[in-house]
Amino acid sequence: MAVNRVDNMADKFRAFLNNLAIDNQAIISERTKAVTRAINQQYWHMRSDTRNIHFLGSYGRDTAIKGLTNINLLAVLPGQVYKRFQSHPGNGQASLMLEMRESIKHISLGAYINSEGCLLMPVDSLTIEIIPGFATDKKAFLYPESHDGWRWATFNPLREIEAMDEYNYKYGGKVKHLAKMMRAWRLTYQAKIPGMLIDTLVMNFMDDWEGNSTSFAYYGYMCLDFLEYVSGLKKEQLVWYAKGSNRKLTREDDFGAHAYTAYKKAKQALQLENEGSSPRASQTWREVFGPLFPV
């Protein structure tokens, strides 16, 4: 009987991850390819709909889930464009953003630059953010930053994606799976924790979790232990650093209480699973992860 219950729980978590899969891939592909073509025509004089563009954020790290509302695109521009705007009279960074908005107007009349200087393109229920970047050394990029006055800032988002892929491979796919499931927890509890911080905590946790070589049958225990780990983080710790880029990540709010509440529910769900009360266990898992958990 114990084997049957474990198999059943494994099937539940497989189905749960299937339910979390992004369901608007077609519109994402269509609109981002249109943006890519427009930018490549404007700046690279080519018609490619794949080159010189990188997906960033949770979508780029492959940890996004159904209901995704934001797509971040890094548009890599030629070095001579940087030189042109570096010597531009007045505010070169803001002028570049305005020029880029003009370059995509024919595919999106609603494209705009918000109060934070971000170039945004609304598409149905999605918002695509387009970030112009200029390649430097070590996979880093210069980009226009508007905080505290416009300037050129440096970031290294591709190394973050590589770090996520490396960890996920090392631990047999569990890193991305856990990051996705914890986004469902975040949504259910309205916990204020950035996606990159979730991904970083998952990677930190997986290095020390004694079950990091286990299979789907232990995913319930993995979620339980991770929620316990998050709820036990010191409230005084306000800063973490992203794997790969060492980018500073800050705590927006105390999400530990939400994690502890979900931890108690997960503990109850596992007890019900072990007692053979699978339907009741599934309902309790829904109290942790929301309606996408299968019943």
Q: What pTM value is reported for the model?
A: 0.94
Burial class (CB in 10 A: 0-12, 13-18, 19+), 157: buried
C-alpha 104/C-alpha 14 separation (Å) is 40
Q: What is the pLDDT of residue 134?
A: 97
Token pair of 235, please? 């409230």
Q: Is residue 3 very low, low, confident or very high in pLDDT (cuts 50, 70, 90)?
A: very low
Token pair of 288, please? 């942790």
271, pLDDT greater than 90: yes
CB environment 6-43: b (16+ within 10 A), e (fewer): beebbebbeebbebbeeeeeeebeebbebbbbbbbebb
Q: What is the enclosing helix (H) or strand (E) of 141? A: strand 141-145
Half-sphere exposure of 248 (CA within 13 A, CB side): 6
Give per-residue pLDDT as tens, 20-46.
Answer: 999 999 999 999 999 999 999 999 999
Q: What is the pLDDT of residue 1?
A: 32
Q: What is the pLDDT of residue 6?
A: 43
Q: What is the enclosing helix (H) or strand (E) of 249? A: strand 248-250
What's the mean pLDDT in 246-264? 95
DSSP lists the bridge partners of residue 12 as none
Match 């949770």 to its residue by tokens: 58
Q: What is the pLDDT of residue 7?
A: 52
Give per-residue pLDDT as tens, 134-183.
Answer: 999 777 999 999 987 899 999 999 999 999 999 999 999 999 999 999 99
* One-letter amino acid for residue 41 of the chain: Q
Give per-residue pLDDT as tens, 176-222.
Answer: 999 999 999 999 999 999 999 999 999 999 999 999 999 999 999 99
Contact between 70 and 126 (Cβ < 8 Å): yes
3-state secondary structure 69-115: CEEEEEEECCHHHHHHHHCCCCCHHHHHHHHHHHHCCCCCCCCEECC
Percent with pLDDT over 90 in the chain: 91
DSSP lists the bridge partners of residue 145 as 151
Token pair of 256, please? 């530990």
